[in-house]
Structure 1
Amino acid sequence: MEDRVTYGEIRAWFLGSYYNYCRAKLSHQSPWAEGESEVGYAYSELENSFDLPVEKLMLEILALILSADRSSEKVKKYHLDMIRGLLKEIELSSVLNDLPSDEAAELKKDLRVLGLY
């Protein structure tokens, strides 16, 4: 597989943005606004950062996993639609076969948690 960002790297960047946002909220003592989320912030920081469909798929999966079913139906539908669109674009089984086994297993597990595999 061509040079790509790993699932672990994307997760680390996502969680780094998530953490920085929460820390800034605390340091500025900013109250949470309706619909505001650390997941939304982290996603917006990364959403245009990837070129490969598999990287984009990983980002969408992480956004749903980290929202832990706390996002609105509209947000959940957005990410599920993005995932479904990416799955039409790529052959998931061949992508999973191209990934290192531990990374493929982790991605499969997350897809299963979301009911997508």
Structure 2
Amino acid sequence: MEERVTYGEIRAWFLGSYYSYCRVKLSHQSPWAEGESEAGYAYSELENSFDLPIEKLMLEVLALILSAGRSSEKIQKYHLDVISGLLKQIELPSVLEELPSDEAAELIEDLRLLDLY
């Protein structure tokens, strides 16, 4: 079986990029451009990093959670469309059963926050 990256690891990498981007913004004292976001940067750093559908799903869920409703409708639609495609590829209940219970519970809670489960 392929080595899987955990939800916590993906979140830690995402937040690491998010943090680094904010630090650069502060150190350069550069203003935020319209549509620019730390979540968008972090997502772009990770978007082609995963092979397994569950890892890709986790990244998409994190992108929406960490934008906390502040992204444009176009960006939200993009992530929701990717999630929809991934959910057609995998049998979510059986995939969730394979995850450690605490990890599955956290992902389910985030999916519910987004009205996706």
Superposed pair shares fold, TM > 0.5: yes
Listed one character per residue, the Cα deviations across residues 54-94 of structure 1 (whole Å, up to 9, x for unaligned) are 00000000000000000000000000000010000000001
Please report the TM-score for the alignment, with normalisation by the length of structure 2: 0.99
Tell me the residue number matched to 1:4.
Answer: 4
- Amino acid corresponding to residue 89 of structure 1 in structure 2: Q
* Runs of 4+ displaced beyond 2 Å: none
Tell me the residue number matched to 1:63.
Answer: 63
Matches within 5 A, 1:87-102: 87-102=87-102
CA RMSD of aligned residues (A): 0.7
Structure 1: tracts of 5 or more residues without a match: none
How far, CA to CA, are the matches of 1:61 and 1:109 in structure 2?
11
Listed one character per residue, the Cα deviations across residues 36-63 of structure 1 (whole Å, up to 9, x for unaligned) are 0000000000000000000000000000
Please report the TM-score for the alignment, with normalisation by the length of structure 1: 0.99
Tell me the residue number matched to 1:77.
Answer: 77
1:36 corresponds to 2:36:
yes
How far, CA to CA, are the matches of 1:32 and 1:2 in structure 2?
40
How far, CA to CA, are the matches of 1:46 and 1:77 in structure 2?
19
- Amino acid corresponding to residue 39 of structure 1 in structure 2: A
Matches within 5 A, 1:13-24: 13-24=13-24
Structure 2: tracts of 5 or more residues without a match: none
How far, CA to CA, are the matches of 1:2 and 1:46 in structure 2?
19
- Give % identity: 84
Tell me the residue number matched to 1:105.
Answer: 105
How far, CA to CA, are the matches of 1:2 and 1:99 in structure 2?
13
